[in-house]
Structures are given as structure tokens and as C-alpha cells.
Amino acid sequence: MSICALLMSRGARGRRGRLSLTSLIDVIFLLLLFFMLSSTFSKFGSVELNVGGGNASTDFQDAALVFARLSADGVTINGRSTTLDALPAALDPLRRGGDLRLLLSVSEGTNAQSLIDALRVFHAVPNARFAILEDS
């Protein structure tokens, strides 16, 4: 076998054995697109809830008590209607310069998202602690 024939046979084999990177990049791109679209884009968060223990009653002795009722119609603070956006401004005069203790009652028609939104607003109020009242 001549050297020319050997080189030509290697060249033909080399071209056939090459893997095209274009198709590999296309497959990787499609996989990336699939996993991006199949994942959820929602932001998971948490709201801390503490269960009252044996000394829970002493927590409310030296602070201004405020009764908040959450319903499907909105929020009432000590019987006065307000919105969640105006809640910190409505709670500020009730604080009297000290701590604030909120007693939150949730009516039957309230959905879970409204409760979470209210809890986020309550967490943003400085020096405020709250308790959720249960229906018995």
C-alpha cells in the first residue's frame, strides 16, 4: 500500500469519525431551555410563628394591646376599618411610645394569602408582637 493511499484512507476515516459540535450545542441548549421552563419561578418565603408557652400571658402585661380582625373585606384595628398598606400608620398612634401587642382574629371567609400578607405587615411593625386567636 502506498503512502498516498494510506493518507487518503486516514483522511476519509477522520472526517467520518468527527462529531459535529453544532448538534451537541443544540441538544445542550434544548435541555437547558427545558429545565428552565419546567422549574418554578415563585419565590418561597417563610413567616415565623411562635407558639405561646407558659409565660405567654406576661408578654402582654406591659404593652399596648390592639385587637385586629382580618376578614375577606379587609382589616379592622380596634373596630376601625383600614387597609393592609395603611396598617403601620394606623398602629403607630396606638403604640404610645412603647411595645405593641396585637391580637389577630381571622374570620371564616379569609383566604390563606390574606393571612400571610397581614403577617408580613405585622412583622414589619417595629416593637410589635402578635398572637393569632383561635375559634373554639
| Statement to judge: residues 23 and 76 lie in one domain | no
Each residue's pLDDT tens digit, 16-73: 567 778 888 999 999 999 888 887 666 666 666 665 555 555 555 667 888 989 888 8
The answer to whether residue 99 sits within a structural domain is yes
Domain that holds residue 113: 58-133
| Statement to judge: residues 13 and 78 lie in one domain | no
The answer to whether residue 95 sits within a structural domain is yes
Amino acid 7: pLDDT: 57
Question: pTM for the complete prediction?
Answer: 0.53
86 three-class SS? coil
| Statement to judge: residues 95 and 129 lie in one domain | yes
Amino acid 41: pLDDT: 66
| Statement to judge: residues 87 and 128 lie in one domain | yes
Q: Domain tally for the chain? A: 2
| Statement to judge: residues 77 and 118 lie in one domain | yes
The answer to whether residue 11 sits within a structural domain is yes
Report phi then psi at 44, rounded to 5: -90, 130
The answer to whether residue 47 sits within a structural domain is no
Cα angle: 80, vertex 85, 88; to 5 degrees: 70
Amino acid 36: pLDDT: 85
Q: Are 130 and 101 in contact (CB under 8 A)?
A: yes
- The percent of residues above 90 in pLDDT, for the chain, comes to 7
Give the integer Cα–Cα distance in Å for 21 and 23. Answer: 6
Amino acid 119: pLDDT: 86
The dihedral formed by the CA atoms of 43, 46, 47 and 51, expressed in degrees to the nearest 10: 160
Q: Is the pLDDT of residue 107 over 80?
A: yes
| Statement to judge: residues 15 and 63 lie in one domain | no
121 three-class SS? helix
| Statement to judge: residues 78 and 24 lie in one domain | no
